[in-house]
Amino acid sequence: MADAPHDLTDLATEIAREAGALARRRRTEGVSLAATKSSLADIVTEADREVEELIRARLAAARPGDGFFGEESGAASGSASGVTWVVDPIDGTVNYASGIPAYCVSIAAVTGPVDPDAWEVQAAAVYAPALDELFEASRGGGAWTGGERMRVSAPGGAGALIGTGFGYDPATHEGDLATVRAVMPLARDLRRMGAAALDLAFVAAGRLDAYFERGLQPWDFAAGSLLVTEAGGRFSRMEHDRPRKMTVAGGSAIHDELTKIIAGGD
Ligand code: LIP
């Protein structure tokens, strides 16, 4: 069974488009809440579950020996092939439920342990149905959107356009806002889009200069991390001693400035 990164990416992009079309159809039909998770603000819709089931079924049919680790399906299933698919069926669920178009399907293929601090991402597809934009990457094959190669930006004199986000637990907001205050001198402005995979895709495309957020789940950033590194950027996770780890992405210069500030440097 071919495990070449570009073969995995081709499969991921095909499925991401189909899954995105389903999500968009369900959105026009009206979204129903299925449950809340960590808090009232942390929702899952019936579409999240239906889209993840479609992705899981398509992957199992195409590559029955692979593992699956999806946001809505709990623990990762074992992998006979060494490849595990890390899937967020609808990243930006609150946007999706609210009719805000900043949502996407995020599919990544990883090898090694199913642990974001140990796995190796081989393939990535992030598809934003409302924008009809697909962002893809294969390990060593670059990052692409619309047939064009993606490259991270280098911020100009006016400062950086930086994406960020916040968790659903109000108890975490003060600490996260303190980090925003510390980072602001680097920024011309901030963007809070509410979909980490899209934030990371926009960093890879040079639309955002950088992105940072605490408390992301592995499926939020698995695909986006490869988009960023294959676009010449840096992706790292910090604060491993905290329950909510920090994710930072951007071109190497601003990535290093951000990590220094977040670590408490001057
Ligand atoms: C979302 C992330 C976003 C974060 C939200 C939420 P979900 O994932 O993509 O960056 O700020 O709190 O975690 O829940 O929409 O899959």
pLDDT for 1 beyond 50: no
Ligand 1, pocket-test mutation among 173, 220, 247, most atoms within 8 A of CB: 220
Residue nearest to atom 5 of ligand 1 (CA): 194
pLDDT for 33 beyond 90: no
DSSP collapsed to 3 states, 128-181: ECCCCEEEEEECCCEEEECCEECCCCCCCCCCEEEEECCCCCHHHHHHHHHHHH
Q: Residue 174 — pLDDT band, cuts 50, 70, 90?
A: very high
Mean residue pLDDT of the chain comes to 94
Q: Residue 74 — pLDDT band, cuts 50, 70, 90?
A: confident
Residue type, 251: G
CA–centroid distance, 196 to ligand 1, in Å, is 6
Q: Is 213 in the pocket of ligand 1 (CB under 6 A)?
A: yes
Residue bearing the bigger pLDDT, 107 or 32: 107
Q: Is 196 in the pocket of ligand 1 (CB under 6 A)?
A: yes
pLDDT for 51 beyond 80: yes
Q: Residue 30 — pLDDT band, cuts 50, 70, 90?
A: confident
Distance CA 165, CA 234 (A): 19
Q: What percent of the chain has pLDDT over 70?
A: 94
- The conformation of residue 122, written as its DSSP 8-state character, comes to E
Q: What percent of the chain has pLDDT over 90?
A: 84
Ligand 1, pocket-test mutation among 216, 246, 247, most atoms within 8 A of CB: 216
Say if residues 248 and 228 touch (Cβ distance below 8 Å).
no
pLDDT digits (tens, 9 = 90+) for 183-216: 999 999 999 999 999 999 999 999 999 999 999 9
Q: Which atom of ligand 1 is nearest to the CA of 166?
A: 11
Residues 6+ apart with CB under 8 A from 245: 214, 215, 216, 237, 238, 239
Q: Specify the pLDDT at position 129.
A: 98
Note the Cα 136 to chain centre separation in Å.
12
Q: Specify the pLDDT at position 75.
A: 78
pLDDT for 2 beyond 80: no
Q: Specify the pLDDT at position 67.
A: 97
Q: Residue 40 — pLDDT band, cuts 50, 70, 90?
A: low
Q: Residue 5 — pLDDT band, cuts 50, 70, 90?
A: confident
pLDDT digits (tens, 9 = 90+) for 148-161: 999 999 888 889 99
Distance CA 109, CA 99 (A): 29
Q: Specify the pLDDT at position 165.
A: 98
Q: Stretch 23-44: mean pLDDT, rounded? A: 77
Lowest mean pLDDT among 45-49, 68-72, 143-147, 235-239: 45-49
Q: Is 194 in the pocket of ligand 1 (CB under 6 A)?
A: yes
CA–centroid distance, 248 to ligand 1, in Å, is 15
Query: Which letter, b or e, does each residue of 93-118 get, where b requires 16 or more Cβ atoms within 10 Å of its Cβ?
Result: bbbbbeeeebbbbbbbbbbeebebee
Residue type, 189: D
Distance CA 192, CA 166 (A): 8
